[in-house]
Amino acid sequence: MDDAYKGKKEDKFSFGLWTVGNVGRDPFGDPSRKPIPPTRIVKKLSELGAWGINLHDNDLVPIDATRQQRNKIVREFKKALKDYGMIVPMATTNTFSHPVFKDGGFTSNDPKVRAYGLQKVMQAIDLGVELGAETYVFWGGREGAECNVAKDPIDALKRYREGLNYLCRYVRDQKYKLRFAMEAKPNEPRADMYFPTTGHYLAFIETLDFPEMVGVNPELAHEHMAGLNFHHGVAQAIEVGKLFHIDLNDQRFGRYDQDFRFGSEDYKSAFLLVRLLEDQGYDGPRHFDAHAFRTEDEKGVWDFADGCMRTYNIFKEKTARFAEDAEIQGILKEIEGKNPEFEKHLGKYSKKKAQSLKRAKFDIDAMAKPGLGYERLDQMLTELLLGMR
């Protein structure tokens, strides 16, 4: 395979310890491979050309570790980061695995669980900052419901807000350089999760005490699970300056949470996304939140990781090719260039402009007549992606 597409540090590719560390467990089956020690993950990812490694508190430090055990694990992990030139750009908290969180962390009906949740997140934030993280992700894995009469959804939202406001104040108090990135998901593991889409979070963030500290971490698979167009959601986040992080993977519509290798299912969506990120100059981490098929052994895991990075870089090259394709660019120019004389009616409202626009004549049947030629354009994109242009 061509080395030109291999991951390089400047590509800012990152993986979670939980992604390449996924042991192939699913609701119906036991692990199909052995856990890989975190220090080995750091080494292998670095060799493959990744730049960063992200983690939940308990991906690294077991939930029942003593202070001494924790410090030893962290010391060894930091050494591996240094030895292999890797960084921890993002960290997060596991508030979903232990059954104490079976009805949520922030949104639990039980104040004791909510208090423990806050304590756990503060400790995990301390760990993340100690490892150098500048982005802190919140994925509310258990913040949702099956029995929808047991929890008032308005109370749930208020509790989530209260928790985030508390933690923003904690970060400010500690003088940490840390931003929060909220990750939406419509369902799994709960039947219904609060904040099912990135758009829900974008609205919610504006109601927080420190909205400037909080952005989003959209995940491709999660938006596809909700039947949405990922690249549109990401565009909306970029447009309001809220794309703090991104989870790249792939997913068939209408299925369970698959977390497939980036770009392995829907080439057109992956292309549109990479083009958007590159054209908009997104300079945050390109984080792969995916895992190898359950059929794989450790070698398959590294094939998977290499594949995510290669595919991103291949789509990046396709983006450049798209921009240099004279015929495609000619069509795009033509689409944009029609009827410039009507620009004067658009833009900011003024009384004068509105009066003039109300007098303007439009022959809507004539306007509707010409075809737009999008079939030809879309076929050109298809042929470009299939390697024919």
- Enumerate binding residues for ligand GLT (CB under 6 A): 18, 56, 92, 137, 139, 183, 219, 247, 289
Q: Which is nearer to ligand GLT, 181 or 381 (CB)?
A: 181
Which position among 3, 11, 59, 231 bears the catalytic label?
Answer: 59
Q: Which is nearer to ligand GLT, 159 or 245 (CB)?
A: 245
* 56 catalytic per annotation: yes
Q: Which is nearer to ligand GLT, 139 or 180 (CB)?
A: 139
* Paired sense of beta strands 179-183 and 214-216, if any: parallel
Please give the backbone phi and psi of residue 312, each rounded to the nearest 5 degrees, phi first: -60, -45
Smallest separation (angstroms) from ligand GLT to the CB of 139: 4
58 binds, options Mn ion, ligand GLT, none, Cβ within 5 to 8 A by partner type: none
Contacts of 335 (CB under 8 A, 6+ apart): 372, 373
Task: List the beta bridge partners of residue 52.
Answer: 14, 87
* Burial class of residue 125 in the structure, from the number of CB atoms within 10 Å of its CB (0-12 exposed, 13-18 middle, 19+ buried): buried
Residues 204-223, mask of contacts with Mn ion (x by CB under 5 A):
---------------x-x--
18 binds, options ligand GLT, Mn ion, none, Cβ within 5 to 8 A by partner type: ligand GLT
Smallest separation (angstroms) from ligand GLT to the CB of 164: 15
Which has the closest alpha carbon to 178: 135, 226, 117? 135
92 binds, options ligand GLT, Mn ion, none, Cβ within 5 to 8 A by partner type: ligand GLT
Smallest separation (angstroms) from Mn ion to the CB of 54: 10
3 state SS of 53: strand
Smallest separation (angstroms) from Mn ion to the CB of 225: 8
Residue 262 and residue 312 in contact, taking contact as beta carbons nearer than 8 Å = yes
How is the beta sheet containing 13-16 ordered, strand by strand? 214-216, 179-183, 135-139, 90-92, 52-56, 13-16, 286-288, 247-248
Please give the backbone phi and psi of residue 146, each rounded to the nearest 5 degrees, phi first: -110, -50
Other C-beta atoms lying within 10 Å of the C-beta of residue 350: 9
Q: Which is nearer to ligand GLT, 92 or 319 (CB)?
A: 92
Please give the backbone phi and psi of residue 3, each rounded to the nearest 5 degrees, phi first: -70, -15
Q: How many helices (H) and strands (E) does the chain have?
A: 15, 10
3 state SS of 287: strand
Please give the backbone phi and psi of residue 79, each rounded to the nearest 5 degrees, phi first: -65, -45
Which residue is nearest to ligand GLT, using beta carbons? 139
Q: Which is nearer to ligand GLT, 42 or 90 (CB)?
A: 90
Amino acid at 34: K
Residue 74 and residue 130 in contact, taking contact as beta carbons nearer than 8 Å = yes
Smallest separation (angstroms) from ligand GLT to the CB of 73: 19
Other C-beta atoms lying within 10 Å of the C-beta of residue 267: 18
* 287 catalytic per annotation: no
Smallest separation (angstroms) from ligand GLT to the CB of 94: 7
137 binds, options Mn ion, ligand GLT, none, Cβ within 5 to 8 A by partner type: ligand GLT
Smallest separation (angstroms) from ligand GLT to the CB of 257: 6
Q: Which stretch binds Mn ion (CB under 5 A): 199-207, 255-263, 359-367, 380-388?
A: 255-263
Residues 286-305, mask of contacts with Mn ion (x by CB under 5 A):
---x----------------
259 near Mn ion, judged by CB under 5 A: yes
Whether cis (ω within 30° of 0) applies to the bond prior to 285 is no
102, two tokens: 């079976």
Smallest separation (angstroms) from ligand GLT to the CB of 225: 10
Which has the closest alpha carbon to 201: 253, 137, 148, 254? 137
Q: Which is nearer to ligand GLT, 97 or 329 (CB)?
A: 97
Q: Which is nearer to ligand GLT, 247 or 306 (CB)?
A: 247
248 binds, options Mn ion, ligand GLT, none, Cβ within 5 to 8 A by partner type: none
45, two tokens: 């990812």
325 binds, options Mn ion, ligand GLT, none, Cβ within 5 to 8 A by partner type: none
Q: Which is nearer to Mn ion, 221 or 277 (CB)?
A: 221
247 near Mn ion, judged by CB under 5 A: yes
Which residues of the shown chain bind Mn ion in the complex (CB under 5 A)?
A: 219, 221, 247, 257, 259, 289
Q: Which residues are catalytic?
A: 56, 59
